[in-house]
Amino acid sequence: MINELNAQWRLAATPKGGLPLAEDFVWVTQDMPEPAQNQMLTETLYLSLDPYQWGRRRSGVELPGEVCHGRTVARVIKSCISGYAEGDYVFNTNGWQHYGLSGEGIDIFGYMHPRKLDASVAPISTAIGVLGMLGLTAYSGLIVQCQPRSGETVVVSAASGGVGQVAVQLARLAGCRVVGIAGAQHKIEYLESLGVDSVVSHLDPQFFQKLKAACPDGCDVYFENVGGKVFDAVLPLLNKNARVTLCGVVSQYGNTDGQDPRTVWQAKGQPFFERQQVTVHDLFVGNFVDEYQDVFLQEMAGYVGAGEVRYKEDLRHGLGCAPQAFYDMLTGDNFGKTLLAVGEDPTR
Ligand SMILES: NC(=O)c1ccc[n+]([C@@H]2O[C@H](COP(=O)([O-])OP(=O)(O)OC[C@H]3O[C@@H](n4cnc5c(N)ncnc54)[C@H](OP(=O)(O)O)[C@@H]3O)[C@@H](O)[C@H]2O)c1
């Protein structure tokens, strides 16, 4: 093990294009890092690929030459931190590399604190999906911010994706009538299998009419993941006193007009929001970690264990395909939560 090299993807340069290109990333191999006091060396088993990673790269927060950031599930190889031992499974932020250091002096990107995982509670890959930041995003936006009531109509866009599939199921558990928006037919069928009351494809030429027909009583809560044309179709359906969580606008992340897509989204919605007295919540999951993560993890582990919340992973194999899988996720060529199997998971 000591003689092994550590392969990693680094950011080649601040991307110039609207969507990721192969030349934005460079493959590097390095000597294995050695943990100092209060650090541990872990092997990446799963790497999460998420839209926000593109925002960091495009905006220059992630610097050229840095290992590409990413949340990971990993196995402890060598620990110099009390409370963590060799063989433990952890959630951490190794990024796009086979091995990484965690602990004192290692950047975790704000709120993504390492924590130990219990493989007997749920498959450990879920710590970067339904039982991780994605699940918490759905919970914070839907339950904490929008507070859906039984009988209300909840509309969720990118409904089969990592965040969306959790949001639709939480809405169903809250007793709401749930309308999901997705692209391809297999995603529509998956959402129907989850018990979503009505599913509409944004690829359908009759999308606007079909969404309206799917919401005969209008929309009380809208969970926004997409923006663009999908947002245009939802706006006229918002009821008086509707609540909206602005989770993300993934359809706009490839824009090259230099404008902030969330600001553009807000300006477009404003006349509708004012007319209908809509409450709009700007969602940033990092604001909910301290207060809600523990309660969320307990509640969601119960739902997952009881089969009341199901989840779909789009599991790709090998660190080498990270740039392509990342592109696929941003452009809708994924199905469920996108993650890479980087190392072998002995618990699977
Ligand atoms: N606010 C926060 O703190 C926070 C935290 C996490 C995630 N997010 C946001 O949550 C959203 C979902 O993230 P995720 O990780 O769960 O990704 P995801 O939904 O698993 O993948 C992205 C999905 O977006 C849809 N999409 C892409 N381009 C589209 C387009 N032009 N028109 C319509 N749909 C399009 C695709 O679904 P279809 O094929 O079905 O269209 C694709 O599968 C993103 O906007 C992300 O930025 C926000």
**pLDDT tens readout for residues 64-106:** 999 999 999 999 999 999 999 999 999 999 999 999 999 999 9
Q: Which of 268, 174, 266 is nearest to 221 (CA)?
A: 174
Q: What is the pLDDT of residue 333?
A: 96
User: For 237-276, what is each residue's pLDDT tens digit?
Assistant: 999 999 999 999 999 999 999 999 999 999 999 999 999 9
119 alpha carbon to ligand 1 midpoint, in Å? Answer: 28
Looking at the chain, the domain(s) classified CATH 3.90.180.10 span: 5-128+311-341
Give me the DSSP letters along 104-120: TT----TT---EEE-TT
For residue 248, the CA-to-ligand 1 centroid distance in Å is 7
Residue with tokens 């999308």: 207
Instruction: Give me the pLDDT at residue 108, please.
Output: 85
| Ligand 1 atom having least distance to the Cα of 250 | 45
- The answer, yes or no, to whether any atom of ligand 1 lies below 6 A from the CB of 135, is no
338 Cα–ligand 1 center, Å: 11
Q: How far is the CA of 225 from the centre of ligand 1 (A)?
A: 5
Mean pLDDT for the chain overall: 96
* 53-64 mean pLDDT: 96
DSSP 67: B
pLDDT at 4: 81
- Output the CA angle 306-309-313, nearest 5 degrees: 120
Strand bridging mode 39-48 / 5-11: unpaired
How many percent of the chain have pLDDT more than 70? 99
Looking at residue 16, its pLDDT comes to 87
What average pLDDT does range 28-39 have in this prediction?
A: 96
Model confidence at 161: pLDDT above 70: yes
CA of 253 relative to ligand 1 center, distance in Å: 10
Q: How far apart are CA 197 and CA 191, in angstroms?
A: 9
Measured in Å, residue 337 CA sits from the centre of ligand 1 at 10
Residue bearing the CA closest to ligand 1, atom 41: 183
For ligand 1, whether the C-beta of 167 sits within 6 Å is no
The residue-averaged pLDDT of 226-241 equals 98
* pLDDT tens string 285-311: 999 999 999 999 999 999 999 999 999
Rounded to an integer, the average pLDDT of 139-143 is 98
**Can you tell me which atom of ligand 1 is nearest the CA of 55?**
47
Specify the CATH number for 5-128+311-341; select among 3.90.660.10, 3.30.70.100, 3.90.180.10, 3.30.360.10.
3.90.180.10
Question: Per-residue confidence at 17, pLDDT binned at 50, 70, 90?
Answer: confident
Q: Which atom of ligand 1 is nearest to the CA of 246?
A: 1
Please identify which residue in the block is written with the tokens 């007997």.
120
| 163 CB near ligand 1 (under 6 Å) | yes
Given ligand 1 and candidates 59, 194, 226, 334, which is best to mutate, with the most ligand atoms within 8 Å of its CB? Answer: 226
pLDDT value of residue 110: 84
Residues of the chain with CATH 3.40.50.720: 133-286
**Confidence tier at 107 by pLDDT (50, 70, 90):** confident
Confidence of residue 109 (pLDDT cuts 50, 70, 90): confident
CA atoms within 13 A on the CB side of 57: 31
Cα(170)–Cα(183) distance, integer angstroms: 21
Banded pLDDT at 3 (limits 50, 70, 90):
low
- Work out which ligand 1 atom sits closest to the CA atom of 249: 45
* Most ligand 1 atoms within 8 A of CB, residue of 163, 246, 335 to mutate: 163
Give CA separation, 175 vs 77, 109, 154, 195, in Å. Answer: 45, 36, 10, 12
Q: 296 CA to middle of ligand 1, Å?
A: 21
52 close to ligand 1 (CB < 6 Angstrom): yes
Distance 233 CA to ligand 1 centre (A): 17
Atom 4 of ligand 1, residue of closest alpha carbon: 247
Q: Is the CB of 251 under 6 A from ligand 1?
A: yes
Superfamily of domain 133-286: NAD(P)-binding Rossmann-like Domain (3.40.50.720)
